Amino acid sequence: MKKVSQLALIGLLSFTLTTGCTQQPSKAASNEPIILNDGIYTTAGEIESGDWIPEISLTINNGKITDVKYNETASLRKSNSIEYQNNFKAQTKLDLLSIYNTLQNSLIETQDPLKLDVVAGATIASTNIKNLAAEALNNAKRDTKYIDGDYTAKGSIDEKYWTPILTITVKNEKIAIVKYDEISSKVFKHKSQDIAYIADYKEKNNIDLIEVYDSLEKSLIEKQDPTSLDAIAGATTTSTNFIEIAKKAIEKAK
């Protein structure tokens, strides 16, 4: 690696930050909703002037970007070099870490690299984050095509001996039919067929359990993704059970 003085690097970076960018923002991101796998996705760019390599790490949780870490690395990361940061500020009147934080927080807020605004005086860093974030998101995209067939998954038995069970039917690579119920290992009966249980539930919670099941089933067919479902007020446990085992059934269909 070439040895370049700190001041020379600062001067060079100051010039590149304020005079355009090395490449156009990636078009990998789009206006279409992106369905993402949870995890940490890291990618790096090409070596730039001064041997700096831009890199980004995105944390995806529940299908959303929840954490962004951007840096530029040579023999040392810029975020770890106090000397570099002080020299950079003296040369440009800009705080390097503030620039990084602004761009990182903006990506978490917008969830879309194409919606990021360029930070004044930091064109290169802004463009790097757009390009690298788009690449990382592309790696995190979930294949939404399912294999046709019937897929069943069960949840854990609760303290009252009810076990949630869900079956999805996939046709033409889409969820076409959803059937959810809970089975008792004590009285060997489905909740949907237990008239006394349904009546008691409605009296205590002012909610029709069959309507809850029906609403969740229709919502999954409409959205095709259990992580996009909202819990039904007053039926949080049922909603949670439904979402969790729907994920298991869909994994089988992939």
d(CA 154, CA 131): 41
Let me know whether 170 and 249 are in one domain: yes
Q: What CATH number is associated with residue 83?
A: 3.90.1010.20
Q: How far apart are the first and last CA of the chain?
A: 45
Query: Residue-wise pLDDT tens for the chain (254 aa)?
Result: 443 444 444 444 443 343 333 344 444 444 455 578 888 899 999 887 778 899 999 999 888 999 999 999 987 888 898 988 898 888 888 899 999 999 999 999 999 999 999 988 888 889 999 999 999 998 888 666 788 999 999 999 998 899 999 999 999 889 999 999 999 988 778 999 999 999 999 999 999 999 999 999 999 999 988 988 999 998 999 999 999 999 999 989 87
Let me know whether 168 and 238 are in one domain: yes
Let me know whether 120 and 243 are in one domain: no
Residues 44, 133: contact at Cβ < 8 Å? no
Let me know whether 155 and 86 are in one domain: no
């503030």: which residue's tokens? 98
Residue 141 per-residue DSSP state = B
3-state SS record for 151-170: EEEECCCCCCCEEEEEEEEE
For residue 97, being part of any structural domain is answered with: yes
The pLDDT of residue 3: 39
d(CA 170, CA 150): 6
The pLDDT of residue 228: 87
For residue 241, being part of any structural domain is answered with: yes
DSSP element (H, E) containing 236: helix 236-253
Strand spans (E) along the chain: 39-44, 53-61, 64-73, 149-154, 162-171, 174-184
Let me know whether 108 and 16 are in one domain: yes
The pLDDT of residue 33: 54
Let me know whether 181 and 126 are in one domain: no
The pLDDT of residue 95: 92
Q: Which of 86, 112, 140 is the last residue of a domain?
A: 140
Residue type, 42: T
Structure tokens, 79 = 């975020």
